[in-house]
Structure 1
């Protein structure tokens, strides 16, 4: 019995080591790209479909926290985002939430509301030079989470050029 417990503990330790290694490797890799015409590469487009409330891990992210781009996890057997300390060159940072009004599920209206609400937050945090090199996207509730009462849209800032060096949020004065 002791041998089984030790073997199980070693397997678990190896899995955690592998998972942490993959996370560390992901922070060192260049930003995700897609091959375009004539072999050119274009950055991944981060829009309202890039991450949704259905993406595992996203509902654990709070305003001000950073996280990885979504990636398939063999361990979880699904696409996930992981919390990442902002000082570890994070790919994304939640900068706030806007609450959508109640009503029927309307994806087009929700998308328009989310972009407008997140734009206001982005413009209030980053204007002029401080916005240089940054962009944003909303994370929307899905039909299923909407049916369960989810009305919160997460607003996320990122750098199209790759991971950010520390928190993108301006220091409070």
Structure 2
């Protein structure tokens, strides 16, 4: 069974870093014609997530073997609000990913939430390629908004807080 890994990182780097692992053969998420997730998928491939998707419980373990996709109207912990492309070349490394993600995800945070990150109650982190996924062509940083106070119901888009 093939395994592909993406790491998740935090803005300040103070939160533990953990990997999100996807396995071939995972369930395809159920989506409506607009692309919105319509029912929870307990075992969705990390590479199937899209802008606007809400993630169920994102475990703080060192490795997460499944990504839970949930309809945004259901309780969830993170929401995908942007995907930034990383140019081809050698694997950039942790510092380069943090710089790019902070710049790209930070700039798009205000557009999504409606308030600048430094003035918001909300926070963000991101999924980034690992050396293994980079070798397989992964060039995306996936920006995730979340409420540090805990799970939310409904989208964080335009939350203004």
TM band (smaller chain): 0.5 to 0.7
Tell me the residue number matched to 1:67.
55
Q: What stretches of structure 1 move > 4 A for 4+ residues in a row?
A: none
2:105 to 118, 123, 140: 118
Unaligned 5+ runs, structure 1:
1-44, 73-77
Is contact 2:84-2:140 (8 Å) kept?
yes
Number of equivalent positions: 120
> 1:69-104: CA deviations, max 9, x gaps?
3349xxxxx632210111111111001100011111
Unaligned 5+ runs, structure 2:
1-13, 24-44
Tell me the residue number matched to 2:137.
149
User: If the length of structure 1 is used for normalisation, what is the TM-score?
Assistant: 0.60
> 1:16-66: CA deviations, max 9, x gaps?
xxxxxxxxxxxxxxxxxxxxxxxxxxxxx657x3454x3563222111010
Is contact 1:115-1:138 (8 Å) kept?
no
SS in 1 for 2:104: helix
Deviation, structure 1 residue 116: 1.3
1:84 aligns with 2:66: no
Structure number having the greater strand percentage: 2
Looking at structure 2, the residues matched to 129 and 103 of structure 1 have their Cα atoms a distance apart, in angstroms, of: 32
> 1:93-121: CA deviations, max 9, x gaps?
00110001111112121221112111011
SS in 1 for 2:73: helix
Looking at structure 1, the residues matched to 48 and 135 of structure 2 have their Cα atoms a distance apart, in angstroms, of: 19
Q: What is the root-mean-square deviation in Å for CA atoms of aligned residues?
A: 2.7
Structure number having the greater helix percentage: 1
1:46–1:68 distance in 2 versus 1, CA, 3 Å: farther
